Each structure stands twice: as structure tokens, then as C-alpha cells.
Structure 1
Amino acid sequence: MNHGTFEKGEKFEAGKMVEVQEGAIVSRTLIDYPTGTVTLFAFHRGQGLSEHTAPYDALVQVLEGKAEISLAGTPQIVEKGEWLIMPANVPHGLRAIEDFKMALVMIRS
């Protein structure tokens, strides 16, 4: 299988679908429908997203590495294999402690 592309109905390894780039945040949208999105992210160590809100719950699945995610100002560490639901309309931000990859699933309601 080519890890740069995928076909519906074929298995793939999400962590290989996006690569960490020095000093950057890389994203790749796998699904983008009016009802929701699935996006893969790769953060170089030290990179992050400033605090913001979203109108819908968002589910984070950590694929590789470690990051600090703050929810309503309360930081917590997330690592490979862990999941986190970020509630709608709650301020949140992210900082990669080490090279970090995640899948972000947002279902619009």
C-alpha cells in the first residue's frame, strides 16, 4: 500500500499519512462533509495551536508522541494511545512536548 494515498474500503495506518516537518504544523483532511470532518495533524516539538473554541465537540486520538492540551485553562498531558473529547465552546489549546501526531474528529450537530 502507498502510505501517501488511501482508498475507501482499504485499511491504512493513520500515523503514516502525515509527517512531522521541522518548525511546522502539518494537516491532512481525510473526510470533509457538512456533517463532520476527520483531520490528521503532525506537530514538530514546540509547535502548537493557540487557545480557541469550536462550536462542536471534538475527539482527539493521539497517534504518536506527547502534547499538552489545555481545556478552559487547565493543562493535561496526552500521549500515544490516549483519546480526549474537547467539549464544544470550551477554550482549548495545544503544545507539542515532543513530535506529535493526532487525529481530530468533529461531528457537527
Structure 2
Amino acid sequence: MWVRVAMLEEIPVGSAKVFHIEGRAIALTRVGDQVFAFGDVCTHDGGPLAEGKLEGHVIQCPRHGARFDIRTGRVLRLPAVVPIPVYETKVEDNAVWVNPEPKEASR
């Protein structure tokens, strides 16, 4: 099931914006012409990932520096060891849609 979340111009480039979708805090960002969606909770200590530094496809938790790949959820730097959830997105007629069921994370 897909949920319409926002218009494309509402999704930031170079930072993330949090949307609440079916009870989940999901951060969305644009990198190039693609939209990415990931859980807004660091798996290390529950910190707000969307407030972290985004460089390309990597988000860094603002609390302790854990890093994650926003395409796969994979952990790239300790202290986190558990991947973050990532979600499928699609854009149709400038509307951004998110599948609220997480994709399988890569380790």
C-alpha cells in the first residue's frame, strides 16, 4: 500500500524532513533526482537521524556519529550495529509516495 506524502518541491535537497506515515516517523530527502525515505530513529540510541548531517547517500546521527546508507539502511560507522529501516518511494505527477512497509535492510 502506497501513501501520498508530499509534493516533490516539499522534499529538501541536502537535508531531511520528517513525515509521520502510518504511525512511523519517516525522513525523506532528495539526492540528485531521486527521493529516499528512512526511519528517523538512530538504532544506537534512538536519536533523531533527520537532524544529522547528510552527505550524498550517508546520514550521520547528530548524537554519537553513527552513519547509515539511506539507500540500504546499512550501518557504515559505529556505535550503531543495527541497520535503519528504509522505504520505497515513487514520484508520480510531482507527488511523492512512500510504501510504509520497510524494505529488507542490507547488513
**TM-score normalised to the size of structure 2?**
0.30
**TM-score normalised to the size of structure 1?**
0.29
Greater Rg over alpha carbons, structure: 1
